[in-house]
Amino acid sequence: MEKKQNAGPTRRSVLGGAAAAAGALGASAVAAPALAGRGNPGGDHGHGPGPREYVLTGGYVLSMDPAVGDLDGGDVHVKDGRIMAVGRGIRGGGARIDARGTVVMPGLVDTHWHLWTTLFRSMSSSSPATAYFALNVANGVRALPSDLYQGARLALVDALNTGVTTVNDWSHNLRTPEHADANLQAHREIGLRGRFSYGTPQGYPGTSVIDLDDIARVKREWFNSGRLPLMHLGLAGRPPGLVGEAVFRPEYDAARALGLPVSYHANSTRAQGALEMVRQLGEQDMLGPDTQLIHALYTTPAERAAIRDTGASVSISPMSELLIGYGISPVKDMVDSNVLLTLSVDTMSLVGSADMWAVMRLTTGLHRGVSEQELSIGTRRVLQMATLDAARSLGLGDVTGSLTPGKRADVVMVRRHDVATAPVIDVANTLALAAGAENVDTVIVDGRFRKRGGRLLDIDTERVVRGTEQAIAALLAR
């Protein structure tokens, strides 16, 4: 079962309303049902720059919804943050925004990103002292709340610039309530959709339970209060094999009592694989549709079957998994096992770049290379990992991940006539193999324009960068 925020349209209701509305909207249009979709428009940010109602006209619409399909010369009608219709020749609908020369597609969804570590961009792996985990602990224990704010804020701006509209912030340095609040303030200011996965701080003993009282406080003060209308709360937990039952059981039970989804790093290394953490999670009845497993490079066929059969998902980070020396991401094994597989950039201290387009390229290559077969996986399947499947894994499959009438308008427009993308013959191939952050012309989150004409809107990027640079300089000097 996906996480429910508000009641939303079913696929049947979306398609059932199409025929009656198509005549008024124009030829070949799929319309939204009359009832409002799930999720909240605007939030603390207001609607922001741009009109409240508009039609993106004349683009190549790659909807990622089989019922809508792909439409060359298609239109997307948006009103109050909601996709009203997708089709050709949509009439009315407020402002007309020229999308010709672009691919109009769903925003990308990153399912596992330690945002705060963007403070340490490209610092890892130069020496034993800067090995990833050593770097995180040495600097994490000295990090101030303002450091988490600066790192997370820069990461969120970077995400917007690359076309990521939804992110799972796997926040694993929440040393005090003030650290949690500072991290969340970055989300409130920048305003992406997603999940905040509350985790233990760096250097936290494996014999101590996470601050359960503060998780409840964060839920009450930040999420129940509506301060983050596009976000929901989760637990960044510790699985069996990493900690004992006296720790993992109360953490899991508290998350369940609060109605929170859970996420675990599991079976990341060969040593962890030998512990069969995923098997232990299954035996403890801790796998389910709102359970996310991170990395999971070394799983047995039985473990992969358990993931599939319980509806849990796996988030891989192919670039970081190579750079940290875990090994080859299990793209083929997971796809062959019909596991719900999604993608992430993980951490900027290791990978440096937040470019999810590069992650899709690498994912495609890993599957084909391990398969020793050029045609083993298509790029549309990989695009699905970064959009619709990723949204489903976060419990947001009826909110975002595809350009479906009734869903919220999280949209990216990628230029087709750039030096790096032209000529575009196979659109899915171009997106997954050629495109990059520099080709992202427009980014829309919940109907609000956040990037347009290649420029971020309403964000002082120089101030964001300067704040992060000052924060890391001060941290290293302490």
What is the span of the domain harbouring residue 315?
108-393
Token pair for 454 = 């290649």
Token pair for 53 = 């109602």
Mean pLDDT of 386-415: 99
Which of 48-62, 201-215, 217-231, 289-303 is predicted with the least confidence, judged by mean pLDDT?
48-62
**CB 160, CB 192: distance < 8 Å:** yes
**CB 224, CB 258: distance < 8 Å:** no
Same domain, 135 and 81: no
SS (HEC) of 98-116: ECCCEEEEECEEEEEECHH
Question: Per-residue confidence at 50, pLDDT binned at 50, 70, 90?
Answer: confident
**CB 199, CB 171: distance < 8 Å:** yes
Token pair for 226 = 């509506």
**CB 396, CB 386: distance < 8 Å:** no
Q: How many domains is the chain partitioned into structurally?
A: 2
Strand 53-62 vs strand 30-31: parallel, antiparallel, or unpaired? unpaired
Same domain, 350 and 423: no
Q: Quick check: is 473 in a domain?
A: no
User: Model confidence over 58-91: pLDDT tens digits?
Assistant: 999 999 999 999 999 999 999 999 999 999 999 8
Rg (CA), the chain: 21
Q: Quick check: is 254 in a domain?
A: yes
Mean pLDDT of 229-234: 99
Same domain, 165 and 194: yes
Beta bridge partners of 151: none
What pLDDT score was predicted for residue 44?
45
Q: Is the pLDDT of residue 216 over 70?
A: yes
Same domain, 348 and 363: yes
CA distances (Å), origin 190, targets 5, 78, 195, 359, 456: 21, 21, 14, 23, 11
Q: Quick check: is 466 in a domain?
A: no
Q: Is the pLDDT of residue 26 over 70?
A: no
Same domain, 90 and 142: no
Q: Is the dihedral of CA 247, 250, 254, 257 positive or negative?
A: positive
Token pair for 359 = 């992650």
Q: Is the pLDDT of residue 108 over 60?
A: yes
Same domain, 380 and 345: yes
Residue 419: DSSP 8-state: T
- What whole-number distance in Å separates Cα of residue 202 and Cα of residue 351? 20
Q: Quick check: is 471 in a domain?
A: no
Residue (of 298, 296, 301) closest to 315 by Cα position:
296
Q: Quick check: is 462 in a domain?
A: no
CA distances (Å), origin 112, targets 39, 282, 309: 21, 21, 22
CATH code at position 344: 3.20.20.140
User: Model confidence over 176-191: pLDDT tens digits?
Assistant: 999 999 999 999 999 9
Same domain, 287 and 383: yes
User: Model confidence over 115-150: pLDDT tens digits?
Assistant: 999 999 999 999 999 999 999 999 999 999 999 999
User: Model confidence over 254-293: pLDDT tens digits?
Assistant: 999 999 999 999 999 999 999 999 999 999 999 999 999 9
CATH code at position 440: 2.30.40.10
Same domain, 101 and 146: no
Same domain, 297 and 440: no
Same domain, 59 and 87: yes
Strand 108-113 vs strand 440-445: parallel, antiparallel, or unpaired? unpaired
Q: Is the pLDDT of residue 37 over 80?
A: no
**CB 415, CB 441: distance < 8 Å:** yes
Same domain, 320 and 380: yes
Same domain, 77 and 195: no
**CB 293, CB 268: distance < 8 Å:** no
Question: Per-residue confidence at 32, pLDDT binned at 50, 70, 90?
Answer: low
Q: How many CA atoms lie within 13 A of 49 on its CB side?
A: 12
User: Model confidence over 329-344: pLDDT tens digits?
Assistant: 999 999 999 999 999 9
For the chain, the straight-line distance linking the first and the last C-alpha, in angstroms and rounded, comes to 47
- What whole-number distance in Å separates Cα of residue 312 and Cα of residue 315? 10
How many H helices and E strands in the chain? 18, 18
Q: Quick check: is 4 in a domain?
A: no
Q: Is the pLDDT of residue 323 over 90?
A: yes
Residues 6+ away with beta carbon under 8 Å from 47: 41, 80, 81, 447, 448
Strand 411-415 vs strand 102-106: parallel, antiparallel, or unpaired? antiparallel
Higher pLDDT, 29 or 39: 29
Q: Which helix (H) or strand (E) holds 70?
A: strand 70-79
Q: Is the pLDDT of residue 236 over 60?
A: yes
Q: Is the pLDDT of residue 424 over 60?
A: yes
What pLDDT score was predicted for residue 451?
98
What mean pLDDT is reported for the chain?
92
**CB 61, CB 405: distance < 8 Å:** no
Mean pLDDT of 401-413: 99
Burial of 213 (0-12, 13-18, 19+ CB in 10 A): exposed
Residue type for 96, please?
R
Question: Per-residue confidence at 30, pLDDT binned at 50, 70, 90?
Answer: low
What pLDDT score was predicted for residue 48?
56
- What whole-number distance in Å separates Cα of residue 394 and Cα of residue 262? 10
Q: Is the pLDDT of residue 21 over 70?
A: no
User: Model confidence over 428-462: pLDDT tens digits?
Assistant: 999 999 999 999 999 999 999 999 999 999 999 99
Provide, rounded to the nearest whole percent, the portion of the chain with pLDDT above 70: 90
What pLDDT score was predicted for residue 13?
31
Q: Quick check: is 1 in a domain?
A: no
Q: Is the pLDDT of residue 302 over 70?
A: yes
Q: Quick check: is 364 in a domain?
A: yes
User: Model confidence over 243-263: pLDDT tens digits?
Assistant: 999 999 999 999 999 999 999
Q: Is the pLDDT of residue 9 over 50?
A: no
- What whole-number distance in Å separates Cα of residue 428 and Cα of residue 435? 10
Question: Per-residue confidence at 49, pLDDT binned at 50, 70, 90?
Answer: low
Torsion of CA 179, 184, 186, 191, to 10 degrees: 170
